[in-house]
Amino acid sequence: MSTSPSRDPWGDFWARNARGASVGGGTGCLPQRWAAIENAQRATWTAFAKHLPENAAVLDLATGDGRVLGWLLDQRADLSLTGIDLAATLPAGPTGTKTIGGVPMEQLPFEDDSLQAVVSQFGFEYGDVAKVTKEIARVLAPGGQVGLIVHRGDGPILEHNRQRRNELQWALKEKATARKVKAKLKANPPAIDQAEALAKKTAELGAKRFGQTSPAWEIPEAIRRTVVMGRREGPASMIDTIEVIEGHARNELGRIASLATACGTADKRAKLLGAFEIHGLTLAEESSLKEPSGRAFADFLKFK
């Protein structure tokens, strides 16, 4: 039987996605055809690494699967690389780096003036900007650098995830597949054949309307397979598994909601820059990262 989903949307996300998986596949932030976006991110961090002092201690905020740490290490083997993330469950970080889960950006477990650089990719803007910038300034040594890749509300990442949110809500709320199937399984006697037929019909509708790689197909199809394969164990086991499926879907909706909020935070650029300026960190570089079509999907901000 599957394990229960995390109450933390991003903890659930990283627990289910190994390094690299979050850029492709159905549950990732980006569709697979946009893999070139990751190359743009890698190039940004490669350029950033070239200007760090020898043996620099670098902290990655909201490190996730540690991919930024890996890119920095590929360019500079001398760097001391650590990542922290609020999610308690993280994939293993790249060999030669250290990642720590369960750590908020607003309370960094590092000494004052102990780091030569602080970086973040799609992480900083999820925190309390005023508190996080204060902590960055505290742990950053004199002459240190800050590099951030931040979301854009007008970019393809949020657009893709909003579409995915609509598909999730169609399956969970509009069609209420899980609730209706569970009701049939709880009947006395259980209407197992009807439960399977209902899930199958909804999966077919979801595939027709949204495509066979969408959550609108994935969720009812997963429920249908649960009923088919769970006949030997009985309705109670089926219901348990369906509730796990529901939980993961709700966690993804929570993740998408937090993404939308983060985009709004990053788009309030004057407020963001002002939070750094209060602590003597000024914007030294700003550039847009673009997908192959030329559309900007993120901004890179460097502070000194």
pLDDT tens, position by position, 212-244: 999 999 999 999 999 999 999 999 999 999 999
Once rounded to an integer, what is the mean pLDDT over residues 118-125? 98
Once rounded to an integer, what is the mean pLDDT over residues 68-83? 98
In the chain, pLDDT over 70 holds for what percent of residues? 89
**Nearest one of 90, 94, 62 to 75, comparing CA atoms:** 94
Q: Which pLDDT score, from 0 to 100, does residue 25 have?
A: 33
Q: Is the pLDDT of residue 18 over 70?
A: no
Q: Which pTM value belongs to this model?
A: 0.87
208-235 as b/e, with b when 16 or more CB fall inside 10 Å? eebeeebbbbbbbbbbbbbbeebeeeeb
Q: Which pLDDT score, from 0 to 100, does residue 171 have?
A: 97
Range list of H helices, 29-116: 36-49, 67-75
Q: Which pLDDT score, from 0 to 100, does residue 33 have?
A: 52
Q: Which pLDDT score, from 0 to 100, does residue 105 have?
A: 98
Once rounded to an integer, what is the mean pLDDT over residues 89-97? 93
Q: Is the pLDDT of residue 268 over 70?
A: yes
Per residue in 176-192, pLDDT (tens digit) is: 999 999 999 999 999 99
Q: Which pLDDT score, from 0 to 100, does residue 32 have?
A: 53
Q: Which pLDDT score, from 0 to 100, does residue 283 have?
A: 98
- Using pLDDT thresholds of 50, 70 and 90, give the confidence band for residue 29: low
Q: Which pLDDT score, from 0 to 100, does residue 1 have?
A: 34
What is the token pair recorded at 201?
Answer: 């019909």
- Using the 8-state DSSP alphabet, how is residue 271 labeled? H
The mean pLDDT of the chain is 91
Once rounded to an integer, what is the mean pLDDT over residues 166-175? 97
DSSP string covering 184-228: HHHSSS--HHHHHHHHHHHHHHHHHHH-TTSHHHHHHHHHHHHHH
For the CA atoms of the chain, what is the radius of gyration?
22
Q: Is the pLDDT of residue 12 over 80?
A: no
